[in-house]
Structure 1
């Protein structure tokens, strides 16, 4: 009997020891295994932070991406057989107290994601004299489970399964160490060093060059929108862009004088083609020794303020190129050099001479500045404000925000920044430099919304008023095809504003092979450019830009000719959709929505849409299937990247004998997701979803379909976004399902909306009753329309015009 009693006492004591292997905290638990310390924190009831470090090593970090603080979250803990379960109202987390493996489930126990047992790895690493680690963690995914995100990659893939990346910022590669699953969860790996992503059938692994610990966030949203919402809640909401930024933008590398730039805007006004933005690329500052001086020192730009005033007088806006580096003769260079704020690494341009190729006997001396230093960011703004913003520049084209790192050497990564080695914080460079501009402009004024066009991005950058473009791409059909999944995965990483250079950046292969030396007259390029314009119509920003071949519409014929008319048609379509686009932008800001939407976002049950990489939803009503294969001309094969492009190593195939009839009809295959009906935007023909169809196309028409139940506001014909008030909008209603749409309006270019100065008008379609309700207007702002007309149009052609004074009204069809 004594022996049995002793066993019971020992068992109770053993259980007590095991119970002490973890400690409950206000946000979760802390625990230790044989090798590692682990902390699990609830940031809210659907987002969990997991922190791991070698046993006994203190790991504390202030995140550069995460802005949220943990919310007080109710959760329970239960231990059974060395498995500790933490459960909130939405998710459940298992921690294996023996080996440290973490697994995630829905609140009702459905498995979502788990760590691979034994895959937590800390390898000692000497980071420029600092003892730290290379860190790695592997996860087990379902065999047929697609995942999306990871920033922007130019490989044409939508699902990121079976791929391998070296995740380091580059000209056309944007690193966001975040992915989300069709199962409705996401994972953010909070590390800023170059990393390797490897997905195999066995596991998905992220390995980072430097990390004092492993730090990641698991979030459950239940849907793609829910995951994006959690990610934005964690890293920052996207502020609202001005209305004018959603119009058409014209650019090229580069306008050689202020007179040339202003003349472009004048020509658009003379032609009656809408335009809202013009962009001045580099060298307005003069020579390479004055690189990025942020002043108009080039004799061809004698008066920058007058240039901006002339553009404004034509009812357009202007942004200008600024870089993350400075030439040795600039004021910025001298001030920052004296304070140790410049990096000694090779960047672009390489030579002080503007001749090509670079003459390295005369190095430019250009150096990248320490964006991680808050004082350096303030100095950067001081000069941008004094030389450009005060002259009337409306926004910023922040180029080379990777930054350009030419002939990268290992010792470059040892360079000390304000926050440690460059290796440790390398991938966060765009986040810091863009953030410095946003924060400083917001401190300067609230009368003008920040707008930044930038070439690189990192997790959290959506909070800084930045639109990322896809870099210096080559002009080819393959590149165009790659832009769709690149933009979709970027958007699925939580950053909603994205575009590509319409026409591709390096177009010289079409220019040099054409008989008159003008690629704009080459039918091969004309077809490619037209299809890219059509794709760009349905991007968050519609911007034409590139080198070697001019991009302005008047280079592509004249009114009445097929290519000119096709370009003109889609620019005007963009303006017709502005009420829809601006309302979608409010949905992005207010509800954490997304502009460019992979099909699985809205149709997760339709497995056929999980990996379609050539179609997408633009907003929640419009399905777009861009033409991404040549239909009228041979598909010229062009292989070019930023390095070979700048070195002029181009395809020289002769195209000068090609003649083309752009007036014939063609066809293409389109998949319409199941679960809804679809209307052809051009013909109003209704088609049931869940099947592939053959759609008619012409050079001025691509497949565009509207989801049944959609309500689509159409704006007036204008030459610029704010030319006419929206006092008589056409409201297209597409029957076949219940639907709603909220029309958003405000003062268009200030931050008064943050104080509640805006209106919402909700339209509700009851399909069974065939009735449309326009709810009471909510809110108010200066200049608000108190009375207006809406012309309601059904696909059948039935129309009704209603006078609306802000009070609820319902009428039947």
Structure 2
């Protein structure tokens, strides 16, 4: 045994001297049972199960009634793990469990758990007692290291680093009216909480419990943190990294990876109230929707998806605008003709907004029928209204008798809104829905079940990859993407918090995320709209939507400068589609989000812990939105390494703060040294035309790589390996630059193409003089633009061959 580990294991811990008025686990004496990877300890007052999922991840379950809950499939999608090689030993006061990555030390009296890295470093230890139960509340307290910081917890809008904070996780918008101190309280916003965090000490913890939870991450005491659930089993997973990407990979292996969306879903999404938001419903119509789509196309604004929000349907007799009747308003004269017109304009998907309650309309009484058949979630006196998304019969009936009424006309996805209303206060009414203990247990996972149903149903019906837009979520929601940040007003004070929401949800395993560009409620200041759009086009999902009548966040309603800005960044996003799509595939494989907080890749750089307004967009780009009205400059932190201004090519050394100029039409973007960024030609919608030439935007560096991912863009065949990977690499040595482009490899064959290399050169660098392609000297087809300090090279060979470019400088 490693000497340092032997010392640590023999040291033990000093117990807290405070009197704890709670039911503890007590002492373990003997009787451990092993079944495969699972060890069961019968202690005095409870049974504890320790299960090794992988060499670096284990599960701890504590049951005071000695009965353990059955598996559920909404939060956790994987319960089957390969055998883990665990060596065990039994000493007088402790048990040891060792894998190739960690050592778990279980103290017998009182029962406590300590976790060590292989080199003997203490990673985590129970503080005092391993677990406690007070009434129905179950909790666990851990030691807090002096240098430890915490990240995750879902779509938080308050802070990025949660050390010394108290956090409550329970799906909801924020209580209280007026909205300015209720629903718009960034401290209470809980649209998509996730009971999971990562520690800079190199581990993560996922509390596998769907009841409301509370977390004290050092607020009460600087030497410990705790987490608790209102009821249920104390069940948590400990995940060793030690780096954050590895922790996220393991966490999403447990709760599910984000599937690939259709490639066109990475294009622009546009939402509409069809011309009539709340109070203006009579102005809504199918003709407005068709004219809106035509305007996007006529103005040359790239867009792929469109959905109709609430006012496409009449508000029913029982739930009003808080439920769904599935009856069109009479101002929608020809819904099928509307869908047909939109698809004729090459919109790829058109969807509809709904809410999770059944309702009776004028001609259709779905609520009455569902109650009669017992297909609503049960409430006293048969007054249930919610579709019982926990019951497949209810889901099937909802689909066949409700959703199919619009899917058969042309709807291809849903916006599943108001998932928080199950067991909570609804936005659009004072109804609470079910509130008993079972409903409290299901409240947080209801949005997951709600999103799952149409995602899977439409995937089968459309015969392409699924898509669902939802506002609320919980652990596991990443399997039924995507979520958006909710109804934040068009005010500067909410812009920054929305960015934090995107960073935090990405740190929590949810990669497909979006927000309403310019904000949702109220007309936007044109400057705010401009800045928010810049951020929106560099978000995982680009989405424009608002309820301000009559502007609706449509870009031509905010002035020519705002329209020009919208088109500039929308076109750039479509050009970046190969880059974005390749990173989406990486997310599917590893759990790494498209939008990444800086701490995700620099967890030991304390400078990044509080940065909530910068992020990595994929592997190579760092985006720095401007969130201050009137700002012409902003301060940016550049992490370790060498960085290049994306727009000017100016070089910066990292590990420092820099002040950059930010004209209104410019969002600061930086590229890592060695970056290779694939870009396609401009398009008005996905696959508008074949990609005959792919641009590789190359930034200086000693070396660089990028792997381009390609498939058919819509089918599920990628899960069976039917895709292609093309490797790009650069190597700089002395006065030589080598660029290698492999031919695509894999079971999918993309159309052949040539490449345009756009090679950024450092200021003052010698100009290129000799260029060879596949060993042959070339005198044409390349040029050096001194004013841009950029070398352009068009390849002679196409993608059916490997291509080697060698460039010599003076």
Question: What TM-score, normalized by structure 1, do the two folds share?
Answer: 0.83
- Aligned-partner SS, 2:421: coil
Which residue pairs with 1:449 in the alignment?
Answer: 465
- Aligned-partner SS, 1:188: strand
Q: State the distance in 2 between where 1:183 and 1:726 align.
A: 46
1:770 aligned to which of 726, 737, 747: 737
8 Å contact 2:359–2:365 — kept in the other structure?
no
Structure 1 residue 500 and structure 2 residue 526: aligned? Answer: no
How far apart are 1:296 and its partner, in Å?
4.9
Q: State the distance in 1 between where 2:226 and 2:385 align.
A: 35
CA deviations on 1:504-527 (whole Å, 9 max, x unpaired) are: 1121xxxxxxxxxxx46xxxx111
Structure 1 residue 29 and structure 2 residue 39: aligned? Answer: yes
- Aligned-partner SS, 1:288: coil
Q: State the distance in 2 between where 1:384 and 1:197 align.
A: 40
Residue ranges of structure 1 left out of the alignment (5+ in a row): 1-16, 125-132, 347-364, 508-518, 633-665
Which residue pairs with 2:354 in the alignment?
Answer: 322
1:432 aligned to which of 444, 449, 467: 449
Which residue pairs with 2:205 in the alignment?
Answer: 187
The number of residues matched between the two structures is: 711
- Which range is displaced more, 619-628 or 563-572? 563-572
Which residue pairs with 1:122 in the alignment?
Answer: 133
CA deviations on 1:606-630 (whole Å, 9 max, x unpaired) are: 2211221111100010001100111
Which residue pairs with 1:379 in the alignment?
Answer: 397
How far apart are 1:288 and its partner, in Å?
3.0
Aligned CA distance change for structure 1 residues 47 and 332 (closer, same or farther; 3 Å): farther
- Aligned-partner SS, 2:157: coil
8 Å contact 1:711–1:740 — kept in the other structure?
yes
1:269 aligned to which of 279, 297, 300: 297
8 Å contact 1:326–1:366 — kept in the other structure?
no
1:198-217 equivalences in 2 (<5 Å): 198-200=216-218, 201-211=222-232, 213-217=233-237
Which residue pairs with 1:474 in the alignment?
Answer: 489
8 Å contact 2:215–2:226 — kept in the other structure?
yes
- Which range is displaced more, 173-182 or 615-624? 173-182
Structure 1 residue 106 and structure 2 residue 114: aligned? Answer: no
- Which range is displaced more, 144-153 or 705-714? 144-153
Q: State the distance in 1 between where 2:676 and 2:47 align.
A: 53
Which residue pairs with 2:645 in the alignment?
Answer: 680
Q: State the distance in 2 between where 1:251 and 1:32 align.
A: 56
How far apart are 1:569 and its partner, in Å?
1.4
How far apart are 1:412 and its partner, in Å?
6.3
- Which range is displaced more, 42-51 or 336-345? 336-345
Q: State the distance in 1 between where 2:756 and 2:30 align.
A: 68
1:667-746 equivalences in 2 (<5 Å): 667-674=633-640, 676-746=641-711
Structure 1 residue 283 and structure 2 residue 286: aligned? Answer: no
Q: State the distance in 2 between where 1:615 and 1:564 align.
A: 24
- Which range is displaced more, 396-405 or 528-537? 396-405
List, as ranges, runs of 4+ consecutive aligned residues in structure 1 with deviation greater than 6 Å: 407-414
Aligned CA distance change for structure 1 residues 18 and 731 (closer, same or farther; 3 Å): closer
8 Å contact 1:531–1:627 — kept in the other structure?
yes
1:43-54 equivalences in 2 (<5 Å): 43-54=53-64
8 Å contact 2:216–2:227 — kept in the other structure?
yes
CA deviations on 1:327-352 (whole Å, 9 max, x unpaired) are: 23444323321233435889xxxxxx
Which residue pairs with 2:288 in the alignment?
Answer: 260
Aligned CA distance change for structure 1 residues 606 and 198 (closer, same or farther; 3 Å): closer
Q: State the distance in 2 between where 1:367 and 1:49 align.
A: 37
Aligned CA distance change for structure 1 residues 51 and 500 (closer, same or farther; 3 Å): same
1:374-413 equivalences in 2 (<5 Å): 374-403=392-421, 405-406=424-425
8 Å contact 1:614–1:626 — kept in the other structure?
yes
8 Å contact 2:530–2:565 — kept in the other structure?
yes
Q: State the distance in 2 between where 1:734 and 1:302 align.
A: 54
How far apart are 1:91 and its partner, in Å?
1.9
Question: What TM-score, normalized by structure 2, do the two folds share?
Answer: 0.83
CA deviations on 1:743-785 (whole Å, 9 max, x unpaired) are: 1121112222223332111111223352111123112437x21
Aligned CA distance change for structure 1 residues 57 and 552 (closer, same or farther; 3 Å): closer
Structure 1 residue 368 and structure 2 residue 416: aligned? Answer: no
- Aligned-partner SS, 1:149: strand
- Aligned-partner SS, 1:705: strand
Structure 1 residue 808 and structure 2 residue 802: aligned? Answer: yes
CA deviations on 1:442-475 (whole Å, 9 max, x unpaired) are: 4445x321111100111112122x1111111122
Q: State the distance in 2 between where 1:771 and 1:433 align.
A: 52
CA deviations on 1:545-588 (whole Å, 9 max, x unpaired) are: 12224211111223xxx332222211122112111111111111
Aligned CA distance change for structure 1 residues 798 and 39 (closer, same or farther; 3 Å): same
Residue ranges of structure 2 left out of the alignment (5+ in a row): 1-26, 174-188, 276-283, 762-788
CA deviations on 1:120-179 (whole Å, 9 max, x unpaired) are: 12234xxxxxxxx32111222222311111111222x10112222321101341221111
Q: State the distance in 2 between where 1:413 and 1:333 align.
A: 14
Which residue pairs with 1:555 in the alignment?
Answer: 557
8 Å contact 1:377–1:433 — kept in the other structure?
no
Which residue pairs with 2:373 in the alignment?
Answer: 339
Which residue pairs with 1:355 in the alignment?
Answer: none
8 Å contact 2:272–2:289 — kept in the other structure?
no
CA deviations on 1:205-243 (whole Å, 9 max, x unpaired) are: 2221121x2111111122211111101111112111112
How far apart are 1:701 and its partner, in Å?
0.3
CA deviations on 1:304-359 (whole Å, 9 max, x unpaired) are: 2221111111111322112211223444323321233435889xxxxxxxxxxxxx
Q: State the distance in 2 between where 1:569 and 1:413 align.
A: 46
8 Å contact 1:28–1:42 — kept in the other structure?
yes
How far apart are 1:61 and its partner, in Å?
4.1
2:335 aligned to which of 304, 325, 337: 304
Which residue pairs with 2:773 in the alignment?
Answer: none
- Which range is displaced more, 67-76 or 290-299? 290-299
Q: State the distance in 2 between where 1:188 and 1:70 align.
A: 17
Q: State the distance in 2 between where 1:411 and 1:506 align.
A: 23
Q: State the distance in 2 between where 1:693 and 1:731 align.
A: 27
8 Å contact 2:743–2:802 — kept in the other structure?
yes
1:42-191 equivalences in 2 (<5 Å): 42-54=52-64, 56-62=66-72, 64-68=74-78, 69-118=80-129, 120-124=131-135, 133-155=136-158, 157-171=159-173, 172-173=189-190, 174-191=192-209
8 Å contact 1:672–1:692 — kept in the other structure?
yes
Which residue pairs with 2:22 in the alignment?
Answer: none
- Which range is displaced more, 567-576 or 749-758? 749-758
Structure 1 residue 793 and structure 2 residue 804: aligned? Answer: no
- Aligned-partner SS, 1:312: helix
8 Å contact 2:97–2:104 — kept in the other structure?
yes
Q: State the distance in 1 between where 2:431 and 2:759 align.
A: 65
Aligned CA distance change for structure 1 residues 764 and 183 (closer, same or farther; 3 Å): farther
How far apart are 1:49 and its partner, in Å?
0.7
Structure 1 residue 760 and structure 2 residue 725: aligned? Answer: yes
How far apart are 1:600 and its partner, in Å?
1.6
Q: State the distance in 1 between where 2:96 and 2:468 align.
A: 45
How far apart are 1:403 and its partner, in Å?
2.7
Which residue pairs with 2:440 in the alignment?
Answer: 423
Q: State the distance in 1 between where 2:402 and 2:574 align.
A: 31
Q: State the distance in 2 between where 1:752 and 1:384 align.
A: 30
- Which range is displaced more, 20-29 or 275-284? 20-29
Q: State the distance in 1 between where 2:373 and 2:704 align.
A: 59
